[in-house]
Amino acid sequence: MKTETFDPVAISEQQFNKAAAYITGLKAGLIDYLKYPNQTHIIHFPVEMDDGSIETIQCFRVIHNRIFGPSKGGIRYHLDVNQAEVTSLAKLMTWKCALVGIPFGGAKGGVVCNTKVLSQNELQRITRRFTFELSKVIAPQSDIPAPDMYTNEQTMAWIYDTYNGLNPGHNNYPVVTGKPIGLGGSLGRREATGLGCLFATQQFLSKALIPSILELKDTRVAIQGFGNVGAVAAKAFYKQGAKIVALSDSSGGIYSEQGLNPYEVMAFKQENGTVVGVPNTKIVSNEALLEVDCDILIPAATAFQIHHANAKQIKAKLIVEAANNPTTPAADAILQRRGVYVIPDILANAGGVTVSYFEWVQNHANEQWALETVNEKLQKKMAAAVDLVFDYWQNYSFSPNDALIKASEPNFRTIALVIAIKRVADATLLRGIWP
Ligand code: NAD
């Protein structure tokens, strides 16, 4: 069996190189510059655990690019967090913000820890110390964290409070987004990524590229990951009449041909800690979930779930990448050959950073927008970004290989990256390289 790399930096470079090759006139030195992070912070600090023992915690904050404005990116708490993963996710943020037209650059943070075994007090001590260590890096106008896997509004509240204590006398709310509503958070932020996936999918389906899926009603949807993003997406698609046939979390997945009610699944998970075991469902593994008979597959968990070995077995006609980096380049090529469309991560899950930006704007103005205002603006941003990528895909002249791309590449990832990289490259040159 052909092997492939799961190195996130190598993969992001492959994707970048493929897209950059389609942009004429990019100087080699500029391409090189855009591949590297602007700053990488690797931090170790001690934390006292509840039982009196001391543990060393390793953390990262990578700032990839700030051409368009302050760097923006979530903070992930997970045992698998490492520098390569955080770096590739920081790059993804740069392209995501550039693609949807948000005046932010890209960053990402990660803390190597297992939130499932840490107490709230331990999590609070880790978060506050991490914020202290980053207190000269993060700031409302330079670098702005947000939630990601296994971090939430409470984590953001601790970050805000610690930073505010270190920088008294200023409006520090914009230093972090994804805060609780009662502490400068935006209405709709928690739901933004999942809802953004819905808006992106609706706009994509309106292009009628997939004749058998012209609307969501009765469309069969499978979702891997039932956390913040996956659960919200499940509810949003369900409300549109889609049939949610499979759902999963880190303990495994469930399948029902008749369709699942995500509200009932959520109630079950709250009581039992997992979706596995919901009555009248068949248990499936997370691997098997990706291959169930469905129309739309939404990976909403971790990276590289769709790879060379399983891409041929995927039955979905459309993959909506709620998670970051869920598909490897080898899988992309297979899916493309098979005519499976992919709404790539930098487009599909851009709703989160979009409403983070709205939160930041509200914080600066000391305002709180109505939920309808937030969602209406989100819907417009997502639809405009899908239109942009679709129009490029249909009409943009890529020069030498133009015919080849149009004839053989239903590849929205490359097109989205072309738009984003070109925007960042053009802005870099407009600002000028000095001294
Ligand atoms: P979360 O921590 O709230 O949920 C993660 C979910 O994935 C949980 O249900 C967990 O049980 C499940 N999971 C973990 N490992 C798994 C595995 N190996 N197989 C199947 N399921 C597994 O995180 P989230 O905020 O929902 O983020 C999910 C994905 O979406 C991540 O890739 C994240 O980078 C991406 N994302 C999140 C946001 C956001 O606003 N939170 C924005 C953009 C992208």
3-state secondary structure 38-65: CEEEEEEEEEECCCCCEEEEEEEEEEEE
Rounded average pLDDT over 368-372: 98
| N-terminal to C-terminal alpha carbon distance within the chain | 51
Between the CA of 151 and the centroid of ligand 1 the distance, in Å, is 10
Between the CA of 322 and the centroid of ligand 1 the distance, in Å, is 9
Between the CA of 216 and the centroid of ligand 1 the distance, in Å, is 23
Ligand 1 atom at minimum distance from 350 CA: 43
Tokens of 417: 């990256």
In order, the DSSP letters of 215-272 are: SSTT-EEEEE--SHHHHHHHHHHHHTT-EEEEEEETTEEEEEEEEE-HHHHHHHHHHH
The pLDDT of residue 404: 47
Whether 231 shows a pLDDT value over 60: the answer reads: yes
The pLDDT of residue 2: 55
Whether 405 shows a pLDDT value over 70: the answer reads: no
Respond yes or no: is residue 108 known to be catalytic: yes
Of all protein residues, the one whose alpha carbon is nearest to atom 32 of ligand 1 is: 323
As a CATH number, domain 192-349 is 3.40.50.720
Of all protein residues, the one whose alpha carbon is nearest to atom 29 of ligand 1 is: 323
Are 34-183 and 192-349 the same fold in CATH?
yes
Whether 177 shows a pLDDT value over 70: the answer reads: yes
The pLDDT of residue 394: 85
Pick the catalytic residue from 72, 96, 108, 243.
108
Q: Where are the alpha helices (DSSP H) in 299-370?
A: 329-337, 345-348, 351-365
The pLDDT of residue 74: 97
Topology adopted by domain 34-183: Rossmann fold (3.40.50)
Of all protein residues, the one whose alpha carbon is nearest to atom 5 of ligand 1 is: 227
The pLDDT of residue 403: 47
Between the CA of 365 and the centroid of ligand 1 the distance, in Å, is 31
Where does ligand 1 bind, in terms of residues with CB under 6 Å?
147-150, 193, 224-230, 248-250, 286, 300-302, 322-324, 349, 352
The pLDDT of residue 415: 94
Rounded average pLDDT over 309-330: 97
Whether 297 shows a pLDDT value over 50: the answer reads: yes
Residues in a beta bridge with 255:
246, 282
This prediction has a pTM of: 0.96
Whether 72 shows a pLDDT value over 90: the answer reads: yes
CA torsion sign, 50 to 52 to 56 to 62? positive
The pLDDT of residue 410: 47
The pLDDT of residue 409: 60
For the chain, what are the domain ranges?
A: 34-183, 192-349
Find tokens 């599909």 and name the residue.
Answer: 348
Q: What is the mean pLDDT of the chain?
A: 95
Query: For a pocket test of ligand 1, which of 156, 247, 250, 310 has the largest count of ligand atoms closer than 8 A to its C-beta?
Result: 250
- Crossing angle of helices 8-20 and 83-100, rounded to 10°: 30
The pLDDT of residue 397: 59
β-strand 296-299 against 318-320: which pairing, if any? parallel
The pLDDT of residue 434: 87
pLDDT tens, residue by residue, 127-172: 999 999 999 999 999 999 999 999 999 999 999 999 999 999 999 9
Residue 197 to residue 321: CA distance in whole angstroms? 8
Tokens of 135: 């207190």
The pLDDT of residue 407: 43
